[in-house]
Structure 1
């Protein structure tokens, strides 16, 4: 029920209770005008007691929220004057009755969050809704990070972290991992395979040969001219020599690739191990690496380059997210739907998810429940006295008006009972 509806209902109930008070008051006046003769004595007894009951209950209800008629009567305006105690009591009630760890864990099997999530994501519209929500949040994050002050703070933070980073140590540890079990030889094999495969191409060989001939002609024109003088075509000879050089180099690459114990492989091993050892032990070399890192970070072009990369990426992401046929939104929707399908088809997966929920509740509930309780207490304490009275009265005031109605009717019936007893005795 919204606030407007609650207030309308409260006004109607107040009008009804007040109208009944006015009615019994008028009835009492009428009975007294007949001097309580005959049956009017009964009417007078009923109306008088009903009016007293109505006024007493009106006072009781009003005293909960404010001072009746604004008079400084003790023990009135109970709710505003005891706001702090009410705030603490409400916070403790919510914390202990609704947010207790045992209570939450006891409810977990019945809720079965994993199954409910799977069923919810099984509906395409829900998967799309989840995708849209994540996309909207991502868009907001992109706009936040695009703020000049945020960008500067993020870059400064990254710069500080990289400055403190032991780059030599990181590189040496990475190379240790890459060289473990001769993994670096696998990388060398792949590089040789690709390069030799490229040089096996006749068009590539012709390209290199042409370049060699052109360079030879430019660097040694007299020698090329002498060859022509003795009847040898320099271009044809140069092309044959160049092709032979390229093929010879390619055969050398194949030899390295086919022979695990090739001397060039051992030389490669020695070079890599020497480099790793220098990174670990050579102080001067480590200082050179750190200086290069510092120079790179401090150079204006680095910030400009990183900023340009980020601006380009952000623009692409924002452009895609803004389109009705967004690729990212569609991919996320498909991902959520696939996750829901996988979850629904795997009881063990569901059990694992629920177990993690239970673990999270067990570890987080004590802190969260105290935090929520403090938030409730502090929020209620900060409410204005009139505001808290108005809010509570708006919520339960219409039900409290029944006290006034009941007080009027019950009071009248008690008045009749007393009048009957007095007649007997």
Structure 2
């Protein structure tokens, strides 16, 4: 955690550091568009021409409105007004204007984020007027070396499979065929017990020595399988008869038995994928069997084989399972780790070279790992996946504005 904090400080410091040349350029660009007009828009002036340009978004999708004057008098016809917005990544949005009785209206929606390089071109009375400035928001720069140290990783947006699942609950158990019970071959006295409960044994290991009552010779009881001793019912000096003396369980594979109730049964089938979680440990498996519940209980048991080669799971643990009942191919998805809240939006941060910027998203279906994107992102966009919160923190620290 301390390392992440340190990297965050380095990241923020590096992104806020700019050269004197950059500072001069930014001041120059902003000076062209810092004045405000009577309608609250950006005031652009050149010789006898003045354009006030505003992004209006009260009760309507964001749209451009403009007021044009020549020598202080309103111009209502015979002009050609054009705005071009160049976004991060090279996309260009173009707006032409028509007079609406009180203002000039741009022909389209100014989509979020309102972060772009702006070029305004006005043709009036045979003269051309041009203004250009940067209007960036939700954007920051991070050197590649700093991004790597901070653990920032990216992915390319594209199609993916959204899985619809239903959640069930059950417990882990051991299959009967994975438990071996060991008895004495001949009745006799146990002269030595070599294992205890919980010991791991391999096939052929000696469990105990028994002295036969008939031959008075000692023979060994050996483990018939690899596994863990889960029962020991004998001690030194006791008589071994027909009762089981040891039980050994192979726990490298367990079984999850989930309760599937009548309202779920129609969607559940053998071979469906299941994502399991028990005691904080996650596994994947498939439904191998569907069995009636014992004692005529009102549910079906869905049995899933669970890999336990590392021995982290034990029989009896409660387990939750998400059974994948439908898979839908979506044309555009993002990794859920990339999603962040920003203002009133859910966003991802796209990357172009060493620049990162918000992309507010319209989202569709989700399965907990991937989420469908309905708008706000393009296939092929590279977006931040891991540690995207560091990008958010840096943008918020820089005081990204939403001022038009």
TM-score normalised according to structure 1 size: 0.20
Higher helix content, 1 or 2: 1
| Structure ID, larger Rg | 1
Query: TM-score, with normalisation over the residues of structure 2?
Result: 0.21
Structure of higher RCO (CA pairs closer than 8 Å, 6+ residues apart): 1
Q: Which has the higher strand share?
A: 2
